[in-house]
Amino acid sequence: MKRSIRGRLALLGFAVGILVLPRQGAAALGGSAASVASDRAALAAVHRATTTRSAYTVQEFQSDSSTVREYVSASGVVFAVVWNGRAHPDLATLLGAYSGEYEAAAQQTARKRGLRRQQVQSEGVVVEKWGHMRNLQGRAYAPALLPTGVTIDEIK
């Protein structure tokens, strides 16, 4: 009986530990392209399209509430994320390591009353959100990760 209870407690502790640990393998901003599937799974989305350009590839996937496109450089690093839909996706998932930096900068960025556009800029990441009810859009990019020759206007 003691082994059974100890075994169950150990299993419960392991399960809680797995749930609490941050997801390291996500293809979030700055992450590896090899794990784009992690973001799709986290957002309960399905793959829609892959578009290849000279300096980058765009992986597009869709969930019930939004469409997300992740821009991956030729070196295999996610340098930008774009979304649109009825709701903003989980930005903590999409921003990955930049999430804390974004949240800190967002707290210091004053919202302008009546304006449906917000830009939060920090040292490492820029996040822009705009739109209106049921048509919310945004993009996030790490300026230092932009491939040579790629402009911000290409991220849409």
What is residue 6's predicted lDDT score, i.e. its pLDDT? 56
Instruction: Look up residue 51 and give its amino acid.
Output: T
pTM of the predicted model as reported, rounded to 2 decimal places: 0.73
Task: Give the residue ranges of the chain where pLDDT is below 50.
Answer: 1, 9-26
Asked whether residue 105 is assigned to any structural domain, the reply reads yes
Residue found by looking up tokens 């004053």 in the block: 110
Q: Evaluate whether 43 touches 97 at the Cβ level (below 8 Å).
A: no
Q: Taking Cα atoms as reference points, which of 46, 138, 140 lies closest to residue 88? A: 138
Q: How do residues 88-128 score in pLDDT, each as one tens digit?
A: 888 898 899 999 999 999 888 877 776 677 888 899 999 99
145: tokens are 């990760």
Please give the torsion angle defined by the CA atoms of residues 147, 149, 153 and 156, in that order, rounded to the nearest 10 degrees.
-40
Helix or strand holding residue 18 (H, E): helix 2-20
**Residue reference for tokens 């003691």:** 2
In a domain, 99, yes or no: yes
Is 153 inside any structural domain?
Answer: no
Q: Report the pLDDT value the prediction gives residue 50, as an integer from 0 to 100.
A: 79
Distance CA 52, CA 125 (A): 24
Is 58 a domain residue? Answer: yes
9 found inside a domain: no
Which pLDDT score is estimated for 148? 93
Instruction: Note the pLDDT of residue 58.
Output: 93
| Residue 35 domain boundaries | 31-148
Residue 150 is predicted with a pLDDT of 93
Number of domains observed in the structure of the chain:
1
Contact 83, 94 (CB under 8 A): yes
The answer to whether residue 94 is domain-embedded is yes
DSSP label at residue 131: E
Contact by Cβ (8 Å): 125, 152: no
Residue 14 lies in a domain: no
Q: Is residue 8 in some structural domain? A: no
pLDDT confidence of residue 24: 35
User: How far is it, in rounded angstroms, from Cα 47 to Cα 50?
Assistant: 8
